[in-house]
Amino acid sequence: MSGVVRLGVIGTGMMGCEHIRNVVALDGAEVTAVSDPHPPSLEWARANLGDVRVAEFADHRELLTSGLVDAVIVASPNFTHASVLNDVYATDLPVLVEKPMCTTIDDCNTIVRAASSRRAITWVGLEYRYMAPIAALVSQVRSGRIGDVKMIAIREHRFPFLVKVDNWNRFSRNTGGTLVEKCCHFFDLMNLVADSRPRRVIASGGQDVNHLDEVYDGERSDILDNAFVIVEYDNGIRANLDLCMFAEASRNEQELSVVGTLGKVEAAVPGDGSIWVGERSDRSLTSVAAPIDERVAHVGFHFGASFIEVARFCDAVRNGTGPDVDVNAGLWSVAVGVAAHRSIDEGRPVLIDELGV
């Protein structure tokens, strides 16, 4: 297709409205329809659209058959992704689905099979790849500057989960669990850098501080707020995640390092607009600039990453090209999180092969 890409946004909560703001700021695309069964969420969409008025639907299936859109962004709650994608797949519309792609391995496997039989793309919203410091880190690794990768470490020390509509994100059955809901981003980055199949996962974690006194309809919140996760890959690379969601008073929300045979590269988010590369040969430490791309017209909650993601998705829709982040990447990012939760629940290492991936 050519010209302006008409986008429908399914789910207009926090992330749906973030994508609306991305599209409003983006040349060559426009929001032409939104859907959400929650009336206040539609009000949020109107507020973020400003003077622009678009078609509104309570049922996403009406949006899909309206003829008003060329592609859709799915930003509904995690537990709805599988069913919404099933409805999208009854059409020929390209789709960007927010992370996690689905909350279970079975649903992910179903989506992977279904996506393979359609021409329209499915793009999974793992936008951390586009954060400037992280993209610069990956580029340095790919250049060979630090040699053969051996270790990956990611630390996220941040604030607790935000409040969502009807508190759906307070329960693991809705989110897939913290290590799927929140950490699929990081497992995707590990998988990307390792460039290998995850083989074994060892994890320890708990719910020790946050949401302990939150009870909804007689049910207590059960989402983890801290964990350590070790991931071993087929090619011998090891990766580690250090997650704490009661660490608001941190200099950086995320810190990442990759160590190879020749050196090390370090990045932080939000950081200071640069990353650091160390070389073993002379113990030198070099700063490499990693500013937010000046073409990012809406920085938003993810330091410009979700704007870049939507822009690239629209380019792919317009040009008929494939997704940067496909359903297989979505599956493997969820698989590591599912294995980590099983490791915590059962107190043992978990082989990825056990999951039926």
pTM of the predicted protein model: 0.96
Q: Which CATH class, in words, describes the domain spanning 5-127+308-325? A: alpha beta
Predicted local distance difference test score (pLDDT) of residue 23 = 98
- Which tokens sit at 274? 């640069």
d(CA 146, CA 158): 29
The residue among 63, 127, 61, 132 whose CA lies nearest residue 97 is 127
Predicted local distance difference test score (pLDDT) of residue 195 = 97
Mean of all residue pLDDT scores within the chain: 97
Predicted local distance difference test score (pLDDT) of residue 270 = 93
CATH number of 129-295+332-355: 3.30.360.10
d(CA 293, CA 300): 13
Going from N- to C-terminal start, the domains of the chain cover: 5-127+308-325, 129-295+332-355
Percent of the chain at pLDDT exceeding 90? 99
Predicted local distance difference test score (pLDDT) of residue 116 = 96
Strand partners, 34: 9, 56
Strand partners, 80: none
Q: Is the pLDDT of residue 2 over 70?
A: no
Tell me the per-residue pLDDT of 146-203, one tens digit each, with 9 for 90 and over: 999 999 999 999 999 999 999 999 999 999 999 999 999 999 999 999 999 999 999 9
Predicted local distance difference test score (pLDDT) of residue 3 = 85
Q: Is the pLDDT of residue 1 over 70?
A: no
Predicted local distance difference test score (pLDDT) of residue 245 = 98
The residue among 66, 56, 114, 121 whose CA lies nearest residue 92 is 121
Tell me the per-residue pLDDT of 42-85, one tens digit each, with 9 for 90 and over: 999 999 999 999 999 999 999 999 999 999 999 999 999 999 99
Tell me the per-residue pLDDT of 81-139, one tens digit each, with 9 for 90 and over: 999 999 999 999 999 999 999 999 999 999 999 999 999 999 999 999 999 999 999 99
Same fold yes or no, 5-127+308-325 and 129-295+332-355 = no
Tell me the per-residue pLDDT of 246-270, one tens digit each, with 9 for 90 and over: 999 999 999 999 999 999 999 999 9
In the chain, alpha helices (H): 14-24, 39-49, 60-64, 81-88, 105-115, 132-143, 172-175, 178-181, 184-194, 305-319, 327-346
Average pLDDT over residues 298-312: 95
Listed in sequence order, the residues at least 6 apart from 165 whose beta carbon sits closer than 8 Å to its beta carbon are 13, 38, 40, 41, 77
For helices 39-49 and 14-24, angle between their N-to-C axes, nearest 10 degrees: 20
Query: If DSSP states are collapsed to H, E and C, what string results for 226-246?
Result: EEEEEEEECCCCEEEEEEECC
Listed in sequence order, the residues at least 6 apart from 120 whose beta carbon sits closer than 8 Å to its beta carbon are 91, 92, 93, 94, 95
The residue among 46, 178, 165 whose CA lies nearest residue 100 is 178
